[in-house]
């Protein structure tokens, strides 16, 4: 048996339950004992009822753990490294079938027609352990899994599978180029990774825009060359400031990870002629923005959204973060720690809700 903390529905307290562990694993599956989970903003939004969500459900789609049992045929990770019981692994937020239109033809496996997403499904049916707020997780066949280097801390590795991999996929999707002047809107978890990872991929300079000084200060530790508090300046001054930092041209690449669509028109103004805009943050339904289509056409802009990621970008994010962990304090992003109890997980969600932390940690 293994313990989980269950989401029972909006405005209902979480509950602790025990479910039986699978003795026989299907081909390609893995049973993992979770050593640490981190709480993502979208877990909080599900818990708050900001989006339709199934219950009863084990929330959590960021975590790290060690292999308890390997299903038949599961002997290598997605990067080709051999896997054995006891190995520490990270896994993608989803399992995809590999055979449908989006998996095979359209380069969007995260939109697989048979998609399974951890922390997003009903958990009172086998295999039960479908989220990271539990002692175990059942890794489905078709999930990208990667062995974690021994000298990488759980705290550094856990948030990779949502925030860092999403950003790594986004930078590729929008075609980030070495030498780009990058403006990031939003210094939350995605924004801090966007700063470090774009720097690691050759950004000439990173300019971080946010409204919280605390987060802006943190952005400096994650590679931001300039920080701008958008609340203390006018839009016009902000655009001029960014032009002055980019020889008068404007940004090559703007990344929206603020989570609010209202920042998007300003992002368009910041872009240079021929610039590219990656929208990844304002994912919530019914949030809208208005653009001057003249600007989009005359400035020859490319505007692209990207949701979630192709599993390979978890591997890319893992490599980038591992290689650069002496330059950026990734460990600082995770914490404080809460126990895997109803009280602990509730407190972790509340700590995120009250903006006391960016990645609270749940330890079984
Ligand atoms: Zn997430
Ligand atoms: Zn598919």
Give the ligand whose atoms come closest to the C-alpha of residue 37.
1
Q: What is the pLDDT of residues 153-188, one digit of tens each?
A: 999 999 999 999 999 999 999 999 999 999 999 999
Q: Which residues contact 112 (CB under 8 A, 6 or more apart)?
A: 94, 96, 97, 98, 100, 102, 103
Quote the CA–CA distance of 64 and 147 in Å, as a whole number.
10
Looking at residues 209-217, what average pLDDT do you find?
Answer: 96
* Average confidence (pLDDT) over 185-198: 97
Residue 147 has pLDDT above 90, yes or no: yes
CA of 217 relative to ligand 1 center, distance in Å: 23
Rounded distance from Cα 173 to ligand 2 centre (Å): 19
As a 3-state breakdown, the chain gives helix, strand, coil percent values, each rounded to 5, of 30, 25, 40
Least distant ligand from the CA of 281: 1
Residue 8 has pLDDT above 90, yes or no: yes
Q: How confident is the model at residue 351 (pLDDT cuts 50, 70, 90)?
A: very high
CA distance 255 to 285: 19
Predicted local confidence at residue 292, as pLDDT = 93
- Ligand 2 mean position to 98 CA, how many Å? 5
pLDDT in tens, 261-316: 999 999 999 999 999 999 999 988 889 999 999 999 999 999 999 999 999 999 99
Ligand whose nearest atom lies closest to the CA of 42: 1
Q: What is the DSSP string of 72-132?
A: TT--B-TTS-B--TT-EEEEEEEE--SSSIIIIISS-GGG-TT-EETTSS--SSTT---SS
For helices 189-200 and 213-221, angle between their N-to-C axes, nearest 10 degrees: 30
Ligand 1: centre distance to CA 119 (Å)? 9
Ligand 1 center from residue 39 Cα (angstroms): 8
Distance 332 CA to ligand 2 centre (A): 36
Ligand closest to 92 (CA) is: 1
Q: What's the 240 CA to ligand 2 centre distance in angstroms? A: 45
**What residues sit around ligand 1, an ion, with C-beta below 5 angstroms?**
40, 42, 162
What's the angle, vertex CA 79, arms to CA 77 and CA 83, rounded to 5? 25
- pLDDT reading at 62 higher than 90: yes
What are 35's two structure tokens?
């050593």
| Ligand nearest to the CA of residue 307, numbered in listed order | 1
Tokens encoding 311 = 């599993």
pTM: 0.95
Average confidence score pLDDT of the chain? 96
95 C-alpha vs ligand 2 centroid, how far in Å?
Answer: 9
Distance (angstroms) between ligand 1 centre and the Cα of 169 equals 14
Residue 51 has pLDDT above 90, yes or no: no
């Amino acid at each position: 048996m293994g313990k989980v903390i269950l989401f029972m529905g909006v405005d209902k307290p979480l509950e602790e339950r025990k479910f039986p562990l699978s003795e026989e694993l299907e081909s390609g599956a893995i049973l993992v004992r979770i050593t640490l989970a981190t709480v993502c903003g979208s877990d909080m939004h599900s818990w708050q009822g900001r989006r339709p969500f199934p219950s009863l459900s084990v929330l959590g789609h960021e975590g790290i753990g060690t292999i308890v049992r390997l299903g038949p045929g599961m002997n290598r990770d997605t990067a080709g490294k051999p896997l054995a019981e006891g190995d520490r692994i990270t896994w993608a937020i989803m399992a995809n079938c590999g055979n449908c239109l989006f998996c095979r033809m359209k380069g969007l496996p995260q939109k697989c027609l048979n998609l399974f997403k951890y922390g997003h499904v009903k958990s009172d049916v086998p295999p039960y352990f479908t989220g990271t707020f539990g002692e175990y997780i059942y890794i489905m066949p078709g999930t990208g899994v990667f062995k974690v280097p021994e000298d990488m801390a759980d705290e550094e590795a856990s948030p990779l599978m949502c925030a860092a991999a999403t950003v790594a996929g986004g930078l590729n999707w929008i075609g980030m180029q070495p030498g780009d002047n990058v403006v990031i809107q939003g210094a939350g978890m995605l924004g801090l990774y966007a700063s470090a990872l774009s720097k690691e991929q050759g950004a000439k300079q990173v300019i971080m825009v946010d409204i919280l000084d605390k987060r802006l200060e943190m952005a400096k530790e994650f590679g931001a060359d300039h920080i701008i508090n958008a609340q203390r300046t006018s839009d016009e001054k902000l655009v001029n400031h960014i032009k002055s930092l980019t020889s008068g041209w404007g940004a090559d690449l703007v990344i929206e990870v603020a989570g609010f669509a209202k920042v998007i028109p300003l992002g368009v103004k910041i872009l240079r002629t021929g610039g590219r805009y990656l929208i990844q943050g304002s994912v919530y339904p019914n949030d809208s923005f208005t653009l001057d289509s003249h600007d989009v056409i005359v400035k020859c802009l490319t505007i692209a959204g990207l949701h979630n990621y192709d599993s390979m970008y978890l591997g890319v994010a893992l490599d980038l973060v591992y290689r650069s962990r002496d330059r950026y304090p990734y460990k600082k992003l995770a914490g404080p720690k809460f126990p895997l109890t109803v009280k602990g997980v509730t407190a972790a969600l509340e700590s995120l809700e009250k903006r006391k932390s960016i990645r609270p940690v749940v330890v079984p």
